[in-house]
Amino acid sequence: MRSCARSRARTSRSELSRLSTRALEALDRILDRSEDADDLLRDTVDLLAGEPGIDWAAVAFLDQGTLTLGPSAGTPDESRRLHVPISYDGEPVGELWVDGEANASFLARVATLISAHVLVGWDTGGEAWEP
């Protein structure tokens, strides 16, 4: 398992920064239009897997101490996997998994932006939820 801070640099830093900015703008549009947590998370991993340098993306939900694979997109390559913790209100609720190259700050920002929706996918105890 690699942390996102140790990703290999094949894509230039300026290119990763530009791609990250574009992808965050696209994620903002997804967040604005999606009302359903499942749809939002599927759209997010689709967006990430479509970025240059990223082969696969997924959200794993933390359930009773175990990570369970949720929505994913792309072609997995575990040898290039990055794990980014997702927390909501200071509590871990899952991880963002990405196979490929990505800016660590970008992935951390994505994890923060989707955290409330991962909580919904994780467990709401049947309660209605407004992120």
Q: What percent of the chain has pLDDT over 90?
A: 39
- Give the pair of three-digit tokens for residue 95: 């991880």
Q: Tell me the CATH number of domain 12-122, given options 3.90.950.20, 3.30.559.10, 3.30.450.40, 3.40.50.970.
A: 3.30.450.40
Q: Supply φ then ψ for residue 72, to 5 degrees.
A: -145, 160
> Which pLDDT value is given to residue 24?
65
> Which pLDDT value is given to residue 87?
95
Answer yes or no: is pLDDT of 125 > 50: no
pTM: 0.74
Domain parsing of the chain, residue ranges: 12-122
- Please count the CA atoms within 13 angstroms of the CA of 26 that sit on its side-chain side: 15
- The per-residue DSSP string of 8-34 comes to ---S-HHHHHHHHHHHHHHHHHHHHH-
Rounded Cα gap, residues 33 and 23, in angstroms: 15
pLDDT tens string 14-54? 544 555 677 767 666 666 676 778 888 999 999 899 888 89
Rounded Cα gap, residues 3 and 90, in angstroms: 20
